[in-house]
Structure 1
Amino acid sequence: MATRYIRRLFPHPLLSVALVIVWQFLSNDPSINSLVFGVILGVLLPFATAAYWPDRPRVTRPWKLIPYGLIVAWDIITANITVAMIVLFKRNDDIHSKWISIPLDVRTPEAITALAGTITLTPGTVSVDLSNEGHALLVHALHADNPEKVARKIKQRYERRLKEIFE
């Protein structure tokens, strides 16, 4: 019975937590007032928008989001360094830009969106298009000597983990 009331108050608990954390970062003032206002936002915004989320994403293993986020953060840092080295020290003739079609095993829209966003956030790669059936993602890589290796890395490093989280 208490669970029903908690669910009513927090219709999207992960969104509530994310809003509190993001507000703390945005406020640039880690004080009790900022935390209280973040909690108010974390309760009110999901509550006010709950009607617009009838098919909210089902995260089957939310605890796996933390290691996934750490992996993505690490990859963003290392990719920034790699792209800087390419831009600063490679000649245009030495850069091998490639279009890569990545066949997808994930099927949920949330997992596909998270994968496309992760690829785009990582410097040197950008998600460009999704096939009509949602079975392949077109990615542009700034420098890829071996496109198959890039596709395998994306599938192994990101898609496999997103499949565990969302499906």
Structure 2
Amino acid sequence: MKLLQTLIPAPLVSVSLLIGWLVLARSTMAGQFVLGLILALGIPLALSNLRVKGTRVRRPDVVVRLVVRVACDVFVSNLEIANDLIRWRWRRPSSRFVVVPLDLRDPVGLAALALVTTNVPGTVWCELAADRSALLLHVWDVSEESDFVVRFKARYEQPLREIFE
């Protein structure tokens, strides 16, 4: 069992890589399968030292709510930015850099926050303070900075704290 875990440190990642390879290759021929298998087993082994150990998802129900919230935010934000681009002549967005103080300290939680922030159109993760106490974002359109910070923390940071801390 220990040997198997050493050879395949991330079985779900390996399976996903193999399936992804076969889909991209659009072939299940023996050569493609063997090449996909080599990649599926080799990549997780090569990157196993980069995996964060001891991180655990504590609230799966919050994960589901967060995923739905982010999907909705992506959809709505796309519409808002499209609308802003259409009305560009009459109303320019108020873009600016916003500093968000952070309570989240878990490295996996911060990585998830970076993914969420980058996936929602209109926000770009720019910099994380060295002590992880603050985050610098560039936001497409901000009317009131303090309202944005409160909303960002409530919508994204708080659920991630529930999940990882």
TM-score for both structures, normalised by structure 1: 0.74
Q: Show structure 1 runs of 5+ residues with no match.
A: none
**Mapping for residues 154-165 of structure 1, pairs under 5 Å:** 154-165=152-163
What root-mean-square deviation, in Å, do the aligned CA atoms of Structure 1 and Structure 2 show? Answer: 3.2
Name the structure 1 match of 2:55: 59
TM-score for both structures, normalised by structure 2: 0.74
**Residue deviations 1:27-61, cap 9 Å, x none?**
174x65578865653333212332x33x6254311
**Residue deviations 1:133-156, cap 9 Å, x none?**
210001111111122222222212
Q: How many Å separate the matches in 2 of 1:80 and 1:93?
A: 17
**Mapping for residues 28-107 of structure 1, pairs under 5 Å:** 29=26, 41-50=39-48, 52-53=49-50, 56-61=52-57, 64=60, 67=64, 68-91=66-89, 93-107=91-105
Q: How many Å separate the matches in 1 of 2:75 and 2:142?
A: 18
User: Residues 22 and 28 of structure 2 are in contact (CA less than 8 Å); yes or no, is this contact kept in structure 1?
Assistant: no
Aligned residue type for 1:83: I
Aligned length, in residue pairs: 161
Distance 1:125 1:37, change over 3 A: same
Distance 1:144 1:136, change over 3 A: same
Distance 1:90 1:73, change over 3 A: same
Comparing 15-24 with 108-117, greater Cα deviation is found at: 15-24
Percent identity for Structure 1 against Structure 2: 31
